[in-house]
């Protein structure tokens, strides 16, 4: 690995440590059950569904007349998989699509809805058969909160205000009467409402100052109808744009309850991004180092917010995150269909571990995207066979469900850390200013669950080194330990329609409990989640 500088550093998850660990020694770690932190909001496990490629049509929705088994038009196998995942919040209709979307085109009799050209994603023509009713009914069926992205870029204040009225008013108002005419008597509960999306880019190419004024104008006319109170979300920064956050906090402030942040594990926006399944060791470690850099990004945005909002009234919502690789060969250009390898599972695990640490400010995260797009939970066969496959990322989210609403616990974990080149492609690696970023070989996250157990996730990203770790449980008396492991023979292994169970969780037997110490043998390139009682 010519482009990696390997050094032995001592890193800690949540707390600093000063001891030195020998590579041959058992790693001594501590779970501080006696130092409980903030609640890990279940919304950190949120999903994102955009009218992009086959996320909606062929993914979530096939229609009532489809030969593919469905529940009132929702694809049955996908619905059941999402139900098992305990999806807490689902964002819709975009993304960039949101600021091209006019909601009235997606209500009323389906045969009378106008078609729409998806200008952002491949020019696809769609029939608007999936609209407000279809989305909000799905959220009710999944028992998850809907998160609506409103159209600021090409929409009007009146249009957005009427949408809120249509969805949430139970009074004798014009939009409530129209909703009843379209078959829905009772208003929906809609908590999360985004006032625009990526206003700095596809949502209008605005300056933060201009967007702040637009937010204030649109927000003035969004009403809280009886029984429904909106959680208003500002269109926040792209990764390293700290000025954007600073301006919004100054000019919008507590008029918003949340501000978004977008961060992708991506090599850049110009040129190829690399294959999801064909990569070398350098590119593997690069991806993990890049994904972990979100911690520094969150810390810097959080510092701005802490200064300007010391009471923590405004939440930080990472409502787009995940890997972004090249589209799979032979798929439709602009549909962003990519495979999902064990490497992506590590990106999910490491990112979630970071979100847990900052849950005092990070109130939601929405991985991009739920079906068939980017780092998807689920892939469906578009050839009409009705095949579906769960990705390694899905399995991480499923294994991590005990963290939802649990209480964060600090973990001290010494780890070897690799210094990873920031360059991704070999032709870029000679750049003198490429620099390096750290990639710890071990990561862990712990929490006290709502039923007084402990959940402990351990991620060993090393390609070749198993680790034995002794976790001292400070402030908790344990009696039993059980768990699951996600791993595979190769880090580029993935699940497809012919081999749907190449990367799946299995029971984990290498955790032993003695004198309140959990000793764990964690294989190389594996994710282990333990449930301790």
Q: Which residues are catalytic?
A: 198, 320
Helix axes 157-168, 208-220, angle to 10 degrees: 50
CA-closest candidate to residue 180, choices 166, 164, 163: 166
The label of the residue with tokens 């990696």 reads 4
Cα–Cα distance, 459 to 404 (Å, whole number): 18
DSSP H/E element including 354? helix 342-357
231-238 vs 192-195, strand pairing mode: parallel
CA-closest candidate to residue 162, choices 238, 215, 107, 222: 222
The beta strands (E) that lie in 38-166 are given as 46-48, 70-71, 74-75, 89-92, 116-117, 125-126, 145-150
Q: Is the distance from CB of 372 to CB of 379 less than 8 angstroms?
A: yes
Structure tokens at 146: 């809907």
Q: Is the distance from CB of 312 to CB of 371 less than 8 angstroms?
A: no
Cα–Cα distance, 195 to 188 (Å, whole number): 19
| Burial class, 506, CB count within 10 angstroms (exposed 0-12 / middle 13-18 / buried 19+) | exposed
Structure tokens at 242: 């700290």
Secondary structure (3-state) at 448 = strand
Secondary structure (3-state) at 424 = coil
SS3 content of the chain, % helix, strand, coil (to 5): 25, 25, 45
* Length reported for the chain: 533
Nearest-Å Rg of the Cα atoms of the chain is 23
């Amino acid at each position: 690995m010519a482009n990696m500088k390997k050094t032995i550093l001592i890193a800690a998850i949540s707390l600093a440590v000063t001891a030195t660990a020998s590579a041959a020694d058992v790693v001594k770690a501590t779970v501080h059950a006696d130092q409980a932190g903030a609640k890990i909001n279940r919304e950190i496990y949120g999903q994102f569904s955009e009218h992009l490629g086959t996320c909606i049509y062929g993914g979530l929705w096939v229609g009532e007349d489809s030969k593919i088994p469905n529940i009132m038009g929702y694809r049955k196998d996908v619905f059941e998989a999402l139900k098992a995942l305990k999806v807490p919040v689902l964002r819709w209709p975009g993304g960039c699509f949101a600021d091209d979307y006019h909601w009235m085109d997606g209500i009323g009799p389906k045969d009378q809805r106008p078609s729409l050209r998806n200008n952002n994603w491949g020019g696809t023509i769609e029939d608007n058969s999936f609209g407000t009713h279809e989305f909000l009914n799905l959220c009710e069926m999944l028992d998850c909160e809907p998160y609506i992205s409103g159209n600021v870029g090409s929409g009007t204040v009146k249009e957005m205000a009427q949408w809120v009225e249509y969805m949430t008013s139970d009074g004798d108002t014009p939009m409530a009467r129209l909703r009843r005419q379209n078959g829905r008597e009772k208003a929906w509960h809609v908590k999360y409402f985004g006032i625009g999306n990526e206003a700095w880019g596809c949502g209008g190419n605005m300056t933060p100052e201009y967007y702040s004024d637009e937010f204030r104008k649109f927000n003035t006319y969004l009403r809280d109808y009886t029984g429904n109170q909106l959680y208003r979300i500002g269109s926040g920064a792209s990764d390293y744009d700290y000025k954007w956050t600073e301006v919004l906090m100054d000019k919008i402030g507590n008029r918003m309850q949340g501000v978004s942040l977008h961060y992708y594990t991506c090599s850049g926006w110009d040129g190829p991004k690399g294959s999801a399944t064909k990569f070398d060791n350098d590119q593997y470690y690069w991806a993990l180092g890049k994904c972990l850099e979100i911690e520094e990004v969150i810390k810097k945005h959080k510092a701005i917010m802490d200064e300007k909002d010391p009471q923590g009234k405004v939440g930080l919502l990472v409502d787009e995150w995940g890997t972004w690789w090249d589209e799979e060969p032979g798929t439709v250009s602009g549909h962003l269909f990519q495979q999902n390898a064990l490497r992506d599972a590590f990106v999910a695990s490491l990112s979630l571990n970071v979100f847990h640490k900052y849950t005092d400010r990070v109130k939601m995260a929405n991985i991009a995207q739920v079906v068939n797009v980017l780092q998807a939970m689920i892939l469906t066969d578009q050839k009409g066979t009705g095949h579906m496959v769960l990705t390694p990322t899905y399995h991480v989210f499923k294994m991590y469900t005990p963290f939802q609403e649990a209480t964060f616990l600090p973990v001290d974990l010494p780890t070897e850390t690799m210094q990873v080149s920031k360059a991704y492609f070999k032709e870029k690696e000679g750049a003198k200013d490429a620099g390096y970023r750290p990639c710890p070989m071990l990561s862990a996250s712990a929490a006290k669950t709502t039923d007084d157990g402990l959940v402990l996730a351990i991620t060993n990203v090393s390609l070749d080194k198993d680790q034995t770790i002794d976790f001292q449980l400070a402030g908790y008396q344990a009696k039993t330990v059980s768990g699951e492991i996600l791993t595979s023979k190769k880090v580029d292994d993935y699940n497809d329609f012919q081999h749907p169970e190449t990367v799946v969780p299995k029971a984990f037997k290498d955790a032993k409990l003695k004198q309140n110490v959990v000793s764990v043998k964690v294989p190389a390139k594996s994710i282990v989640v333990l449930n301790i009682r």
